[in-house]
């Protein structure tokens, strides 16, 4: 606490300087005032003493008798300015003494207003004097008693007073500073001890606040402060242990996840990454551009975004689903390995192709036998007709499944050279005519765009997709289906919507309707000849044309399928 004591000393010193700057002028004025007052009092005493004289000569003698009691110089002057007595001039000048006194401001003031004071240099005495002239009346005449006091003596008095006050104040400052230093040292000892104990924690040399021991006889605020610090230290230590335990548990949970998890700050610096994320990013923790873009978006819009990326890891292609979520000072990125899912899809595609080829031959044989039985007259006609009708019906259904599977396999291998410019208006008209052959009661309303809608497409494949959507809209509608086809153009795409007023799709089924072999109502789909591959074919065709398909549906109000395809210049 030396610094604090030094500040106290500086404060005292400043106060002393301020005190002296005020007191020295005050002392000077006071000394001057005291001297003048003393001269005035002595003049009054002299006047009171000499006014008992019998005549003017006796008056002058009375002044002479009292002269030895006067400060320094005394003179008696009558109204005609004749000097009746002068304690120094006659003795010093001898025969050159002038009885006539010259008029001076103090004497003139005394005759005019009873008293006058002036400071003048006396050439006779060779020094500056303070003159006090005071008038009085004696036997009907006016006289002036003039006293003088050397200015040098007044300065000496001022100097002595100033020195005394300065010395006294300095001693007082030293005394107070010493006493204050001892008092501060006594009271600041617990504070120094508290700082000495806390400083290692502040500098990071210890991870906890040790207990503060204060002198047992101290029962004051500093003792209470030490106890408060000890209490806070215990609470902080407990909080640190709790937070450390929670952090370790969270890290253990994050490390056990099969998903990669990493956190970034606002400047995109990685602050945490679990072992899975490190494995995905090859230990260098270099984020792919799409991940950085997704993290920026989630921080800008304060919402969660997801996307998919493909990366090479140890010679293998990984399909990762990435989810970016904002946090207070950055973002969290979750990397989910979907490679197995993609492998299953590939296996399913291969299975569909293989199954289609394997089933095509027996289906053809079954169909041939069915036609033979139908032509065999030896069996009862009713039996033959029933058996052959069932065989033919199932063979047709299986043939359709095979055709759909083969179509899916062909779509996956769609070459780019098959894409050509075509007008979507003309294409939808062809699809409507094809659909109305199977559903003649269907009423289709087309709200076409005034301009041509030119796209790059494989007309045959796109016709399959559009016909499939129109056919579904007609099949899952009322007796007289109402279908609306809408066109909308943007700067980069053409949107085609097919809206029906059918039975609608439950909300829980909407995310799955484009999955292969998925049917909303299996009984209804089987009754209408559905295989669960139609919408999957549609989605695959649209994706191969670099487009997107979406659906909105309400139970009992119908569904709207929207295809977004890129425009062709």
Tokens of 378: 């030896």
- As a whole number, mean pLDDT of residues 187-194 equals 70
Residue in this structure with the two tokens 């050439």, named with its chain if needed? 123
Cβ atoms 76, 60 nearer than 8 A:
yes
Lowest-pLDDT choice from 9-23, 331-345, 497-511: 9-23
How many Cβ atoms sit within 10 Å of the Cβ of residue 373? Answer: 16
In angstroms, the CA 62 to CA 21 distance is: 46
In angstroms, the CA 547 to CA 458 distance is: 13
Q: What is the pLDDT of residue 96?
A: 46
438 or 285, greater pLDDT = 438
- As a whole number, mean pLDDT of residues 378-386 equals 71
- As a whole number, mean pLDDT of residues 185-197 equals 72
Q: What is the pLDDT of residue 222?
A: 66
- As a whole number, mean pLDDT of residues 33-55 equals 80
Lowest-pLDDT choice from 151-155, 240-244, 496-500: 151-155
Tokens of 217: 């006889």
Share of the chain above pLDDT 90, in %: 4
Lowest-pLDDT choice from 221-235, 254-268, 314-328, 443-457: 221-235
DSSP 8-state secondary structure symbol assigned to residue 563:
E
Beta strands 305-313 and 127-138, pairing class: unpaired
Task: Report the 3 state secondary structure along 442-481.
Answer: CEEEEECCCCCCEEEECHHHHHHHHHHHHHHHHHCCCCCC
Same fold, 257-337 and 417-566: no
pLDDT digits (tens, 9 = 90+) for 385-397: 776 776 776 676 6
**C-alpha closest to that of 425 among 465, 452, 458, 445:** 452
Q: What is the pLDDT of residue 460?
A: 84
pTM of this structure: 0.38
Average per-residue pLDDT for the chain: 78
The answer for residues whose C-beta is within 8 angstroms of residue 201's C-beta and 6 or more apart is 207, 208, 209, 210
**C-alpha closest to that of 494 among 482, 486, 502:** 486
Domain 2-157 belongs to what topology? Beta-Lactamase (3.30.450)
Share of the chain above pLDDT 70, in %: 77
**Backbone φ and ψ of 214, nearest 5°:** -115, 160
**CA distances in angstroms from 510 to 124, 344, 501, 505, 546, listed in the order given:** 129, 22, 17, 7, 22
Domain boundaries, the chain: 2-157, 257-337, 342-411, 417-566
In angstroms, the CA 85 to CA 105 distance is: 19
Cβ atoms 476, 500 nearer than 8 A:
yes
Domain 417-566 belongs to what topology? Heat Shock Protein 90 (3.30.565)
> Which among 90-94, 141-145, 151-155, 314-318 has the top mean pLDDT?
141-145
Domain 257-337 belongs to what topology? Beta-Lactamase (3.30.450)
DSSP per-residue codes, 254-307: HHH-SSEEEEEETT--EEEE-HHHHHHTTTTT---HHHHHHHHHHHHHTS-EEE
In angstroms, the CA 190 to CA 219 distance is: 11
Q: How confident is the model at residue 499 (pLDDT cuts 50, 70, 90)?
A: very high
């Amino acid at each position: 606490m030396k610094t604090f004591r030094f500040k106290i000393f500086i404060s005292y010193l400043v106060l002393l300087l301020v005190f002296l700057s005020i007191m020295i002028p005050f002392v000077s004025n006071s000394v001057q005032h005291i001297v003048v007052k003393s001269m005035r009092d002595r003049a009054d005493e002299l006047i009171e003493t000499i006014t008992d004289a019998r005549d003017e000569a006796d008056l002058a003698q009375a002044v002479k008798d009292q002269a030895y009691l006067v400060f320094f110089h005394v003179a008696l002057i009558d109204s005609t300015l004749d000097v009746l007595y002068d304690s120094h001039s006659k003795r010093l000048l001898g025969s050159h003494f002038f009885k006539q006194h010259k008029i001076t401001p103090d004497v003139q003031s005394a005759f005019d207003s009873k008293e006058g004071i002036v400071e003048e240099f006396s050439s006779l005495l060779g020094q500056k004097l303070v003159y006090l002239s005071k008038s009085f009346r004696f036997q009907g005449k006016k006289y002036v008693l003039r006293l003088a006091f050397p200015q040098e003596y007044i300065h000496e008095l001022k100097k002595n007073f100033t020195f005394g006050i300065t010395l006294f104040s300095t001693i007082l400052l030293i005394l107070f500073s010493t006493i204050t230093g001892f008092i501060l040292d006594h009271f600041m000892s617990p504070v120094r001890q508290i700082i000495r104990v806390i400083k290692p924690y502040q500098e990071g040399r210890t991870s906890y606040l040790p207990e503060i021991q204060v002198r047992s006889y101290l029962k004051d605020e500093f003792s209470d402060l030490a106890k408060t610090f000890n209490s806070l230290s215990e609470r902080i230590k407990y909080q640190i242990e709790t937070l450390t335990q929670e952090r370790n548990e969270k890290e253990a949970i994050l490390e056990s996840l099969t998903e990669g998890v990493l956190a970034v700050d606002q400047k995109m610096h990685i602050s945490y990454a679990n072992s899975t994320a490190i494995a995905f990013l090859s230990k260098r923790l270099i984020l792919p551009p799409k991940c950085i873009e997704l993290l920026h978006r989630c921080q800008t819009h304060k919402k969660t975004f997801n996307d998919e990326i493909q990366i090479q890891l140890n010679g293998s292609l990984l399909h990762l689903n990435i989810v970016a979520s904002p946090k207070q000072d950055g973002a969290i990125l979750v990397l989910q390995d979907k490679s197995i899912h993609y492998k299953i899809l590939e296996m399913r595609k291969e299975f569909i192709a293989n199954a289609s080829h394997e089933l095509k031959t027996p289906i053809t044989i079954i169909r041939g036998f069915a036609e033979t039985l139908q032509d065999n007259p030896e069996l009862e006609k009713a039996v033959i007709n029933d058996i052959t009708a069932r065989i033919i019906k199932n063979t047709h259904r299986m043939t359709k499944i095979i055709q759909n599977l083969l179509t899916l396999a062909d779509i996956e291998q769609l070459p780019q050279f098959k894409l050509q410019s075509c007008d979507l208006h003309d294409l939808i008209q062809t699809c409507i005519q094809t659909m109305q052959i199977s559903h003649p009661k269907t009423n289709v309303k087309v709200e076409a765009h005034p301009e041509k809608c030119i796209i790059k497409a494989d007309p045959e494949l796109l016709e399959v997709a559009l016909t499939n959507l129109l056919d579904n809209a007609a099949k899952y509608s009322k007796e007289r289906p109402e279908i609306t086809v809408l066109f909308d153009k943007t700067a980069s795409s053409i949107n085609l919507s097919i809206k029906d007023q059918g039975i609608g799709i439950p909300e829980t089924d909407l995310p799955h309707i484009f999955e292969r072999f998925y049917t909303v109502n299996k009984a209804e789909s089987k009754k209408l000849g559905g295989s669960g591959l139609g919408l999957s074919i549609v989605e695959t065709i649209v994706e191969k044309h670099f487009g997107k398909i979406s659906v909105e549906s309400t139970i009992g109000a119908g569904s709207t399928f929207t295809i977004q395809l890129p425009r062709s210049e």
